[in-house]
Amino acid sequence: MLMDKLHHGDYRCGWSALVGRPNIGKSTLLNRIIGQKVSITSRRPQTTRHRILGVLTRQRYQLILVDTPGIHRSESSYLNRIFNRAATSSLDAVDVNLMMIDARGWHADDDKVLSAIKRNQSKSILLINKIDMLKNKSRLLPLIDQSTKKHDFEEIIPISAEKGSGVEQLLNSLHGYLPEGQADFPKQMVTDRTQRFMAAELVREQIFIQLGEELPYTCAVQVDEFEESKTLHRISVLIWIEKVSHKPIFLGKKGARLKKIGTQARHEMEVLFGNKVYLQLWVKVKEGWAESDLSLKTLGYLEE
């Protein structure tokens, strides 16, 4: 009887949250595992601003990965507090947490992440990311040793989210933490986010890439119009900033920068949506939106 049950019930489905300080490679790992871009990434910290699900369905299991905003020590701004809350609220509801640090060593922000991990009941695996950046791999051993002393992690796995090393091993390990049960989501689903959401994110990703160091902290993107036909996606996007003085940074010389942001984002959308895209961008100034609950709700940063 027991044998029979094990045999029939061996499909597994479970949840895992990616947590870590900003810029550590959480979204890169999510995309690597899912096999397509479901969460935007950039060299700038605080790229991810929402909780985003990626769903991996394989023959024997379904893994639902939760990407979160980077956890940050500084809670000086309202936005920062909202992002930290979005990150830590995911930790309790999962079967196993994946905490990520850099192969080059522990950082003060990592300890903030660790205290969030220690506060909740779920099991945790430590991922040591960016091992491709280590010239001398023997430096991993003392880091693993130090990490063992910091917390009773279930496992410590060195990976490179960017190059893919260690990722299959991670998936094999994760399989063991997933409870038996049927898939939570249909097998063709890769994310909980809509094309409309992805359109705004792909514009934000280009802003992060094109503006680099000049990027103002408070900049948000909102889809104004989204019309889909068989041959064309017609999309209009608003870029919200707080100061008129920031406008030239977005426009660039004779509008060249905004044009480039639009062209690149449009290419990305055409690949993702498998359709031609007509994209319009508008830069709008609205003072104080980053402190206004109403604006933050409209932008999807505050949940009802």
Ligand X SMILES: Nc1nc2c(ncn2[C@@H]2O[C@H](COP(=O)(O)OP(=O)(O)OP(=O)(O)O)[C@@H](O)[C@H]2O)c(=O)[nH]1
Query: Applying CB under 5 A, which residues contact Mg ion?
Result: 26-27, 47-48
> Contact, 155 vs 174, CB < 8 A?
no
Between the two ends of the chain, the Cα-to-Cα distance in Å is 47
What does DSSP assign to residue 105? B
- Exactly one of 48, 88, 147, 206 binds ligand X (CB under 6 A); that residue is 48
Least CB distance from residue 23 to ligand X, whole Å? Answer: 5
Contact status: 132 vs ligand X (CB under 6 A): yes
Which option in ligand X, Mg ion, none does residue 225 bind, with CB closer than 5 to 8 A by kind? none
Q: How far is the CB of 27 from ligand X (least distance, A)?
A: 3
For ligand X, which stretch binds (CB under 6 A), given 18-26, 74-82, 176-184, 194-202? 18-26
State the DSSP code for 69. P
Q: Which does 45 bind (CB under 5 to 8 A by kind): Mg ion, ligand X, none?
A: ligand X
State in angstroms the smallest separation of the CB of 22 from Mg ion: 8
Contacts 24+ apart (CB under 8 A), 108-114: 108/73, 109/21, 109/22, 109/70, 109/71, 109/72, 109/73, 110/20, 110/21, 112/21, 112/71, 112/72, 112/73, 113/19, 113/20, 113/21, 113/71, 114/150, 114/151
Q: Work out whether 254 is an interface residue with ligand X (CB under 6 A).
A: no
Binding site for ligand X (CB under 6 A): 20, 22-28, 41-43, 45-48, 69-70, 129-130, 132-133, 160-162
